[in-house]
Structure 1
């Protein structure tokens, strides 16, 4: 994610992202109430007592767009360099940022009530210090060392340790450690340096940590809860309806920008993609006893459904090569190695 893009966002992606928050907030209470009425109140797995905290987390999960998953989906669908792909990338980036801001507010208030104002205020100060004080300094130092090619593995490992430092700070402040890690990644410079850091973290994180985390989420799921209660077809309907708010919000926003309904629907399907961020929020809600077992199961099932159906639906109803042209590459750096170089005299 590029901090400069977030700070200088254009009107269209910002409007679509904001719309993607408003619709779930309006439709969220109805879907959550329907879920409670359908499930009832089982003796073995009772629903949560605090409806407000559960509703807020329910709505927050519906608003999330998994930016890394969107990038991967667009790459697989060969839409990354299309006009639709660029809108989807920017909108997903803004939506992800909004979700992190809300998550920073939700977790402290859900746990500590009004006392959380101190945690939120101190976290906001920490974020501003990172962006406007720390970032200019480390960007200048890192860019200079990168240009001179002075990095070695020990120095890069020292930079990576900053992730744990920032995570520890935000966890101590009372929000969540993942917020500090996200802010640290946001303020680091991109381009070549980002590739070097990613090469260090991806092998270990992607090969070991991510599978362990997802397996933990899977062990918490209990699909038998859905099918053991008499109204299980209605519960399945609720899971399917969880996909609707984001798509409707995108269709509504794109209509005012003159985009075709098919393009708006395709964009809504793509922006409905969830990922590790949504699962992280759900697991945090589980750990803090914000969500009950049935609600966690329904929401996680909805997240999985939204993510799984994206490629097949886009391939069935939307022909990328037919409806969109690739945007022109404007830098030599992004050309293929076998591309022909032409110079205009």
Structure 2
């Protein structure tokens, strides 16, 4: 790097962090999660404003690979935290209610999204038609668990009946979506490796579960008791995280899968204190680096060239995404005996997509399932559906709605994940 590039890189980092903070505060002032403001800020710093002259001046092409590298590090840390915060007990949640809700909230938007993909395939050509259809279905079925948790904590709904079911169903949806996305990438071979190498993820997952997990337990506990997370222990865990991300990238899957799997295998029992410290330290890194990811993602979003046909496609995408997730969740909740108000609140919560959607779309763009115009439209859909949650919840839930703000009638694993990530 030249001296000017180094100076501009540091200037850009300062600018990104300041803009992200201001945008996040503005979003919170409007009753929205901070991540929504950060995503919008990243889009506005891209080619959408002033036909790209602003982004070309602030972020010249020769500097963008360095920003992308920092963004990838932040993304790996975030996916590690998502896996680390995943509580398997949430899958049990409220039993049949959670299972039916999660299944319907995933399958209905997946089916409608796949049908929409068949229509869009005529104007957005893909070399792998089946992969395109399946990917689009996955992208439509996403529910952003971290953003959902943040919304519930902000509204003091995280320990309510509806909040508990939403968290349980969202956890199941997320796990199913990442699994399906891995299958789609393995099908299309978008990672640069031969298709057969992606099958190595199965023995690698076994290695993580049966070799790395016991080693991590020995590292984070002593005589069955949690130990303080020293600098050496933290660096060892993070080194394993990046090694895991590297392995999945090399075998043909996106590195986010390796980071997520590594977070999943960190032991839960007797390591609560160490896990808490791990999440706090990791959150510091994501708070610094994820805004860079939003800007790098914004480089690929150009809404200035969207014509009338593009607006129609965008409208169709948003309507399909909202109807699929809301209808699927609402109908499932009603069949399980929930009231219409409870069901509407649950459907509104499950329609939240946030950063999780942005990550899935980034994978789709990388493996050739999306072109730039469709990627831009899908990013807008993620922003709209996330923003809808706050607006609709203010109408559906008020301080006087004690029946929606009551504690669950049965014990259930409850998450405080949003306190840390909020994404």
The SS at the match of 2:189 is helix
Q: Within 2, Cα distance between the matches of 1:35 and 1:260?
A: 37
Q: Is the 8 A contact 1:79 1:85 kept in 2?
A: yes
Matches of 2:210 and 2:98 in 1, distance apart?
24
Aligned match of 1:53 in 108, 114, 131?
131
Matched, 1:177 2:255: yes
Counterparts of residues 1-345 of structure 1 (less than 5 Å) = 1-5=85-89, 8=92, 10-35=95-120, 41=123, 47-111=125-189, 118-144=196-222, 147=225, 149-190=227-268, 191-207=272-288, 209-226=289-306, 228-229=307-308, 232-233=311-312, 235-319=314-398, 321-322=400-401, 323-327=403-407
Distance 1:8 1:117 in 2: 35
CA-to-partner distance for each residue in 1:49-93, whole Å, 9 max, x for gaps? Answer: 544322222111111111111110111122111011111111111
Output one character per residue of 1:152-201: Cα deviation in whole Å (capped at 9) or x when no partner: 21221111211101111111221121111101111113421112112222
> 2:58 matched to which residue of 1?
none
**TM-score w.r.t. length of structure 1:** 0.83
Farther-moved stretch of structure 1 (143-152 vs 239-248): 143-152
Unmatched 5+ residue regions in structure 2?
Answer: 1-84, 416-423
Secondary structure of the residue aligned to 1:289 is: coil
Taking the aligned partners of 1:35 and 1:101, their CA distance within structure 2 comes to: 24
Report the 3-state secondary structure (helix = DSSP H, G, I; strand = E; otherwise coil) of the residue aligned with 1:273: coil
1:236 CA drift (Å): 2.4
| Greater mean deviation of Cα atoms: 239-248 or 82-91 | 239-248
User: RMSD of the TM alignment (CA)?
Assistant: 2.8
Paired residues of 1:61 and 1:282 also in contact (CA < 8 A): yes
Contact 2:354 2:386 in 1 (8 A): yes
Secondary structure of the structure 1 residue equivalent to 2:229: coil
CA distance in 1, matches of 2:388, 2:249: 35
Number of aligned residues: 321
Mean alpha-carbon deviation: is it higher for 1-10 or for 167-176?
Answer: 1-10
Residue 239 of structure 1 and its aligned partner are, at CA, apart by 2.3
What SS does the aligned partner of 2:305 have? helix
SS of residue paired to 1:283 = helix
Asked if the contact 1:274–1:307 (Cα under 8 Å) also holds between the matched residues in 2, the reply is: yes
Partners of 1:19 and 1:214 in 2: CA distance: 30
Measure, in 2, the Cα distance between the counterparts of 1:84 and 1:250.
12
Unaligned runs of 5+ in 1: 335-345
Is the 1:240–1:302 contact (alpha carbons within 8 Å) kept by the matching residues of 2?
Answer: no
Cα deviation for residue 130 of structure 1 reads 2.0
- Conserved 8 A contact 2:113-2:136: yes
**Native 8 Å contact 2:317 2:378 kept in 1:** no
Q: Deviations over 1:15-53 (max 9, x none)?
A: 21111222123212333345567xxx4xxxx64454432
Provide the C-alpha distance between the structure 2 equivalents of 1:119 and 1:174, rounded to a whole number of angstroms.
7
What is the CA–CA distance in structure 1 between the aligned matches of 2:136 and 2:368, rounded to whole Å?
Answer: 13
Quote the Cα distance in structure 1 between the aligned partners of 2:240 and 2:224: 18
1:117-138 residue CA offsets vs partner (Å, 9 max, x unmatched):
6334321222233234432442
Contact 1:47/1:295 (CA < 8 Å) preserved in 2?
Answer: no
**How far apart, CA to CA, are the structure 2 residues paired with 1:18 and 1:120?**
27
Paired with 1:326 and 1:170, the residues of 2 have a C-alpha distance of 43
Partners of 1:133 and 1:12 lie apart in 2 by 35
Aligned 8 A contact 1:64 1:95 in 2:
yes
Rounded to whole Å, the distance in 2 between the matches of 1:7 and 1:88 is 11
